[in-house]
């Protein structure tokens, strides 16, 4: 499989974790978001929405990280990302949606660019915006956790796959995760003790560029 990805893209990061957890081999085609490569005609012919990730599979080209991860669960059910009984699966999906639907999109590059170029907000206001919505999402996620080893249950799930990239993003935007979200940082440690999560980290990617 071929994954169109960018080391720092949290939606790509989710799919990398999912592929690694399932033991699926893939190669990466880097699309440099900082240079605007997602806006090129070439990439637009792959994903008309001009967003990462996209996954080239035997079933064709797939887009949207949640659709890709649902497809992976259907194709490779030995290691499910949404697992347990119906109640647990609903819980996993709800936590994943807090971050994937209600938090990350608000700090997406195109949203931040629009705030600056079209609305005229300053750099400081942009940071305030990002920090506000990240804290809001992570607090809601945190408030719904039980005393489980992972976000839901004893095994890493779709909820953790969304959490780890969001914590990476939180730090990029200057949030002190260890002190503000202690419980989330503990779950992160547990996830990052697994190779599947480690290999998906931005700094492990072929296109990684140190800040």
Q: Whole-angstrom distance between the N-terminal and C-terminal Cα of the chain?
A: 29
The nearest distance, CB 53 to ligand GSH, in angstroms, is 6
Closest CA to 80 of 144, 183, 161, 163: 161
Q: How many residues bind ligand GSH (CB under 6 A)?
A: 14
C-alpha to C-alpha distance for 154 and 83, rounded to whole angstroms: 11
| Position among 18, 19, 21, 33 found at the interface with ligand GSH (CB under 6 A) | 33
Binding mask 100-139 for ligand GSH (x = CB under 6 A): x-------xxx-----------------------------
- Binding status of residue 65 toward ligand GSH by CB under 6 A: yes
131 or 190: whose CB is closer to ligand GSH? 131
Counting beta carbons within 10 angstroms of the beta carbon of residue 81, is it exposed (0 to 12), middle (13 to 18) or buried (19 or more)?
buried
Place of tokens 């008309």: 48
- Binding status of residue 52 toward ligand GSH by CB under 6 A: yes
Q: At what angle do helices 86-100 and 158-172 cross, to 10 degrees?
A: 20
- Binding status of residue 169 toward ligand GSH by CB under 6 A: no
C-alpha to C-alpha distance for 137 and 141, rounded to whole angstroms: 6
The nearest distance, CB 35 to ligand GSH, in angstroms, is 11
Other C-beta atoms closer than 10 Å to the C-beta of 134 total: 27
Which span sits near ligand GSH by CB under 6 A: 8-16, 17-25, 125-133, 137-145? 8-16
- Binding status of residue 64 toward ligand GSH by CB under 6 A: yes
- Binding status of residue 66 toward ligand GSH by CB under 6 A: yes
The nearest distance, CB 65 to ligand GSH, in angstroms, is 3
- Binding status of residue 183 toward ligand GSH by CB under 6 A: no
129 or 148: whose CB is closer to ligand GSH? 129
**Residue 79 contacts residue 161 (beta carbons within 8 Å):** no
Q: How many CA atoms lie within 13 A of 132 on its CB side?
A: 7
Q: Which residues bind ligand GSH (CB under 6 A)?
A: 9-11, 33, 38, 51-52, 64-66, 100, 108-110
């Amino acid at each position: 499989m071929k994954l169109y990805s960018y080391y720092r893209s949290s939606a790509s990061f989710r799919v990398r974790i999912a592929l690694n957890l399932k033991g699926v081999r893939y190669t990466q085609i880097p699309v440099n978001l900082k240079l605007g490569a997602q806006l090129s005609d070439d990439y637009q012919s792959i994903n008309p929405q001009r967003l990462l990730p996209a996954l080239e599979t035997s079933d064709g080209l797939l887009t949207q990280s949640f659709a890709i991860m649902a497809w992976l669960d259907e194709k490779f059910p030995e290691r499910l990302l949404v697992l347990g009984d119906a109640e647990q699966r609903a819980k996993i999906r709800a936590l994943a949606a807090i971050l994937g639907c209600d938090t990350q999109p608000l700090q997406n590059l195109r949203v931040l660019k629009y705030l600056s170029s079209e609305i005229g907000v300053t750099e400081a206001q942009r940071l305030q915006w990002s920090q506000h919505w990240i804290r809001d999402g992570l607090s809601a996620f945190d408030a719904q956790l039980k005393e489980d080893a992972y976000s839901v249950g004893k095994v890493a799930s779709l909820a953790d796959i969304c959490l780890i990239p969001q914590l990476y993003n939180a730090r990029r935007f200057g949030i002190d995760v260890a002190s503000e979200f202690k419980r989330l940082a503990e779950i992160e440690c547990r996830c990052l003790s697994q190779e599947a999560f480690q290999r998906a980290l931005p700094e492990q990617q072929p296109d990684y560029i140190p800040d």
